[in-house]
Amino acid sequence: MRLPRLPIAVAPARHETLVSYLTRLASLHGLHMHELWEPISFQRPGSRRRDVVPDRLAAVTGHDRERLARALPELHPTPAWTSWRHQPQLGCPRCDARHRGGTVTRLLPHHGYVCLRHRYWIGPPDVDQPATALDDDLVDIVRAQRRHQRLVHRYSTTAAFDAVLTGFLFCGHLWTEPAEDATDVRWGWARRADALIPRGSEAATFSASLLFAVVYPEAVRLAGMVASPAWRRLARGNADEQRRFISEVGRRLGRLHYQPPANGDAIAHWMVIDSPRSPSRPDKTFPETRQHGASRGPMISKQSLDRHDRSALWFGRTRSGGGAILHHRHIRPVLIREWSREMDGIAATIWASRTTQGHRPA
């Protein structure tokens, strides 16, 4: 069956997924999703999934295939899959408000955490997490996004991806420890956490994504060192060079007397094990997921919802978000690297990422 051209002209959003765009088109025209999906696609051999034919979609929408391919990564002839997160997510609600027909889901770039135009935290994908407005008290999170973009331009997408996730890993470990004094960086995290997840409202406002927002400015500061070839050389250099590196880490964290403990910590682990190696890359891309070629968006599993509720309850009791950050899939590429020792369970893996005990330099 061949569909005629649809009467309502609807353009795709930038980096929108096909299922999101087609769902909006179907909704605006009163069609069932499959009434639109099947005539413009063909079934993959040996699979229930389908691939859209660009020329058919162009004929139905009235948009030329080049324009569609620029906006829809799944139609691009050479998509930059490793530059985007593998999990589609919601973006800035004010940016998406002009796109008719329903919710817009996109493949956002790895460095896209804040909408700078409207000052919304988008963050990493999380359980049913909408974007969160950032008021003037949280302007340091907005500034961190600008610094993050400069890292991408200065060092490359791959280096910035590895560096910022490594910064999150450092901050996650640090947040599991008690604050030492009033100048400790964790007092600033407590301030941001109170603004984003007010005390007593955790059941309604908690999101692991917002915990990443809490530590984002410091993660990006540390990422500037992790991405820099010069700082990486110092990290694996002689004793004097390593002292310079450690001193600068302490300065960026506001811990002027910082020293790694005898058995190491996450920063010492990175200096000894990871700094001599190339930056880690994403462990999964969108085509490797079940959502690629599917005619409907992902469902949130009961297991994910239960884990979210437990994390909200624990955060409400402790107001410490380090554990949730360390257990979140977002940092998996730097928590479990290609050269990491295989460990028995996530608890052992997290422990191994914060010690130099039993490790040898690369």
- Does residue 359 lie in a domain region? no
Mean of pLDDT values over 100-121 = 96
Q: Give residue 362's pLDDT band: very low, low, confident or very high (50, 70, 90).
A: low
* pLDDT tens-digit map of 218-274: 999 999 999 999 999 999 999 999 999 999 999 999 888 899 998 899 999 999 999
- Does residue 75 lie in a domain region? yes
Give the number of domains in the chain. 2
- Does residue 57 lie in a domain region? yes
Mean of pLDDT values over 293-314 = 85
More confident residue, 168 or 2: 168
pLDDT of 295 reads: 76
* pLDDT tens-digit map of 128-154: 788 999 999 999 999 999 999 999 999
- Does residue 284 lie in a domain region? yes
Mean of pLDDT values over 308-323 = 94
By mean pLDDT, which of 41-50, 272-281, 293-302, 329-338 is the weakest?
293-302
237 in the same domain as 185: yes
Q: Give residue 281's pLDDT band: very low, low, confident or very high (50, 70, 90).
A: very high
Q: How far apart are CA 157 and CA 223, in angstroms?
A: 13
147 in the same domain as 27: no
154 in the same domain as 296: yes
pLDDT of 360 reads: 59
pLDDT of 183 reads: 66
121 in the same domain as 49: no
pLDDT of 181 reads: 66
Average pLDDT, the chain: 93
Q: Give residue 66's pLDDT band: very low, low, confident or very high (50, 70, 90).
A: very high
Nearest to 339 by CA among 285, 298, 280: 280
pLDDT of 304 reads: 87
The pTM score is: 0.94
For the chain, the first-to-last Cα distance in angstroms comes to: 60
Q: Is the pLDDT of residue 3 over 90?
A: no
pLDDT of 358 reads: 65
150 in the same domain as 43: no
- Does residue 191 lie in a domain region? yes
185 in the same domain as 39: no
Highest mean pLDDT among 49-53, 140-144, 308-312: 140-144
Q: For residue 164, report the phi and psi dihedrals to the nearest 5 degrees.
A: -70, -40
* Residue finishing a domain among 71, 106, 141: 106
314 in the same domain as 268: yes
Q: For residue 111, report the phi and psi dihedrals to the nearest 5 degrees.
A: -90, 10
pLDDT of 1 reads: 64
Q: How far apart are CA 224 and CA 213, in angstroms?
A: 17
* Residue finishing a domain among 82, 106, 130: 106
- Does residue 73 lie in a domain region? yes
- Report the alpha-carbon angle 59-89-8, nearest 5: 30
148 in the same domain as 61: no
pLDDT of 132 reads: 97
pLDDT of 179 reads: 72
171 in the same domain as 309: yes
124 in the same domain as 91: no
43 in the same domain as 133: no
* pLDDT tens-digit map of 168-193: 999 999 999 877 666 688 889 999 99
**Percentage above 70 pLDDT, the chain:** 97
Mean of pLDDT values over 53-59 = 95
User: Alpha helix (H) ranges present in 4-126?
Assistant: 18-28, 33-37, 54-61, 65-71, 93-96
- Does residue 283 lie in a domain region? yes
pLDDT of 170 reads: 98
279 in the same domain as 229: yes
User: What domain range is 141 assigned to?
Assistant: 114-352
* CB-based contact 105:17 (threshold 8 Å): yes
Q: Is the pLDDT of residue 2 over 80?
A: no
* Residue finishing a domain among 106, 128, 151: 106
* pLDDT tens-digit map of 325-350: 999 999 999 999 999 988 999 999 99
Q: How far does Cα 30 stand from its chain's mean position?
A: 34
- Does residue 362 lie in a domain region? no
pLDDT of 359 reads: 63
